[in-house]
Amino acid sequence: MALLIRRRGGIFSLTGVAKLAVVSLLSYIGLAFVDTIWAVYMEELLHNVVYVSFLSAFFTIIAFCSYFLLIPTIEKYNKSKLFSTALVLMGISYLLLALNKNVYFFILVAGIINILISLKVMVFGIIIKDKSSRKNLARNEGVVWSFFNLSWVIGPLIAGLLSEEYGIPIIFVLASVFLFIAYGIFKVFHIQDANVKKKIDNKLSKNFWGYFKNKARVDAYILGGGVNFWLILIFLYMPLLIKLESGKNSYIGYFLFFNTLPLILTEFKMASIAGKVGFKKMFKLGFLILASVSLVAFFVDNLFGIMALMTLGSFGLAMIEPTTEAYFFDILKNKKEELRYYGPYNTTIEASYFFAKVLSGIFLIFLPLKALFLFFSFVMFLYFLYCFQIKEVKEKLRK
């Protein structure tokens, strides 16, 4: 509790990391609402699972480019103001989607949302880093990620039930409401992080390609991609499989609810352990668990059995999700590198999303949806093998 609440002069108040965690919870409840029904909503517009894969890949390209095109903006402007602006504009965008029935309008607004999400991710990650010491970064990341995953317990359960009863537009409205609430709480907490550079890195290609001149940074990039590659199976293809097999949006909500529980229960602990024993061991075991459950899922015919296996896989995800970003910050040398390379690092999210969607889309042209479990198992095993050669980092050994 000392991580979340402090006492000064007899008065109890939230710590800095607790305030960030609360804002993260509220904003990601809104995003969890939308992500629960996103794949189903796209399938209703496009009427084809393969089209869903390739359009999702297109949005990924937009987000990928955003991560390094936004670097000068993030360096130049107040991080807190950028974050709050992103929340407001995302809320407005989701209200527009609630009124939408046109594919082309959806593509336009969804493209804008992807840019805003990229901005939100980048500035919030920097704010967390600035509020943490180097010895406690993994621990603080674990706290924030635990609250993030709590949003994935609340959001999907509500979104699945309400979308089945009242339709998808109500979900976009609720998402907008929570984003506006997160904006209000962010302002009430007076979370400040100016962190402005006077000299801006406008050579975008230099920023991006310069990132890959260091092996440790490359390792962090690849490992971060592994987490997000797996999430495409959970948040894009599992909802599609559940909808096609059962026809019920509520089952999607139940699945994402139970899939997130292991993350809430264990992620903070896993992040703390990683800071003590080193990241390498946690990465290897986590990816091996993901590879194993996906392989077994391919041979299971029962939908509920597959859902249970994917939920077990979340224990493996808990070992790597909160620690990959901490690992990235730990291998950097100074603040200049953080501002310059955090944007390029975050393109690993969209790069992995892109390859996961495109390769899965190609698979689905020739093979049934269930064959994706074999594909994802193979990819996770490759990540497991990659972990053997990365640089070891143990935060608690630092002075």
pLDDT tens digits along 364-376: 888 888 999 999 9
Highest mean pLDDT of the ranges 249-263, 318-332, 384-398: 249-263
Portion of the chain with pLDDT greater than 70, in percent: 84
- In this structure, are residues 204 and 196 in contact, taking their beta carbons and an 8 Å threshold? no
Q: What is the pLDDT of residue 270?
A: 79
Q: What is the pLDDT of residues 211-230, one digit of tens each?
A: 788 888 888 889 888 988 99
Task: Report yes or no on 104 lying in a domain.
Answer: yes
Does the structure show a pLDDT above 50 at 1? Answer: no
CATH number of the domain where residue 248 is located: 1.20.1250.20
Does the structure show a pLDDT above 60 at 274? Answer: yes
Exposure string of 245-257, with b = 16+ CB inside 10 Å and e = fewer, is eeeebbbbbbbbb
Task: Report yes or no on 10 lying in a domain.
Answer: no
Handedness of CA 280, 286, 290, 295 (dihedral sign): positive
Provide the 3-class DSSP secondary structure of residue 197.
Answer: coil
Ranges 93-107, 182-196, 248-262, 382-396: which has the least confidence: 182-196
Does the structure show a pLDDT above 50 at 286? Answer: yes
Q: What is the pLDDT of residue 9?
A: 47
Q: What is the pLDDT of residue 134?
A: 60
d(CA 236, CA 52): 9
d(CA 372, CA 364): 8
List helix spans (H) across 131-248.
137-166, 169-188, 204-211, 215-232, 238-246
Exposure string of 29-62, with b = 16+ CB inside 10 Å and e = fewer, is bbbbbbbbbbbbbbbebeeebeebbebbbebbbb
d(CA 321, CA 145): 8
Does the structure show a pLDDT above 50 at 25? Answer: yes
Tokens, residue 7: 């006492």
- In this structure, are residues 106 and 158 in contact, taking their beta carbons and an 8 Å threshold? no
DSSP string, 144-168: HHHHHHHHHHHHHHHHHHHHHHH-S
Task: Report yes or no on 7 lying in a domain.
Answer: no
- Closest alpha carbon to 350 in 189, 165, 118, 149: 118
- Closest alpha carbon to 53 in 352, 370, 360: 360
Predicted confidence band of residue 381 (pLDDT cuts 50, 70, 90)? very high
d(CA 229, CA 227): 6
Task: Report yes or no on 111 lying in a domain.
Answer: yes
- In this structure, are residues 348 and 224 in contact, taking their beta carbons and an 8 Å threshold? yes
Q: What is the pLDDT of residue 10?
A: 46
Rounded to a whole number of angstroms, the distance between the first and last alpha carbons of the chain is 25
- In this structure, are residues 87 and 120 in contact, taking their beta carbons and an 8 Å threshold? yes
Tokens, residue 219: 């390792």
Task: Report yes or no on 89 lying in a domain.
Answer: yes
User: Which run of H or E residues covers position 190?
Assistant: none
More confident residue, 265 or 232: 232
What is the arithmetic mean of pLDDT over 31-46? 87
Provide the 3-class DSSP secondary structure of residue 208.
Answer: helix
Tokens, residue 97: 């989607």
Task: Report yes or no on 11 lying in a domain.
Answer: no
Q: What is the pLDDT of residues 82-141, one digit of tens each?
A: 888 999 999 999 999 998 878 899 999 999 999 998 888 888 777 777 766 566 666 676
Does the structure show a pLDDT above 90 at 244? Answer: no
Domain span at 147: 16-397
- Closest alpha carbon to 26 in 74, 114, 90, 79: 90
Task: Report yes or no on 240 lying in a domain.
Answer: yes
Does the structure show a pLDDT above 80 at 275? Answer: no
What is the arithmetic mean of pLDDT over 187-209? 63
The partner residues of 7 in beta bridges, in order of sequence, read 12
- In this structure, are residues 95 and 385 in contact, taking their beta carbons and an 8 Å threshold? no
Q: What is the pLDDT of residues 141-162, one digit of tens each?
A: 667 777 777 887 888 888 888 9
Q: What is the pLDDT of residue 397?
A: 44
Tokens, residue 29: 């409840």
Q: What is the pLDDT of residue 364?
A: 86
- Closest alpha carbon to 323 in 253, 268, 380: 268
Q: What is the pLDDT of residue 342?
A: 73
Chain centre to alpha carbon of residue 291: 20
Chain centre to alpha carbon of residue 391: 24
Does the structure show a pLDDT above 80 at 182? Answer: yes
Q: What is the pLDDT of residue 194?
A: 53
Q: Give whole-number Cα distances, 50 to 224, 232, 373, 375, in Å.
A: 26, 14, 16, 16
Q: What is the pLDDT of residue 350?
A: 78
Q: Note the maximum CA span of the chain.
A: 67
Q: What is the pLDDT of residue 312?
A: 93
Task: Report yes or no on 221 lying in a domain.
Answer: yes
- Closest alpha carbon to 145 in 254, 290, 36, 271: 271
Exposure on the CB side of residue 139, measured as CA atoms within 13 A: 17
How many domains, the chain?
1
DSSP-derived secondary structure letter, 198: S
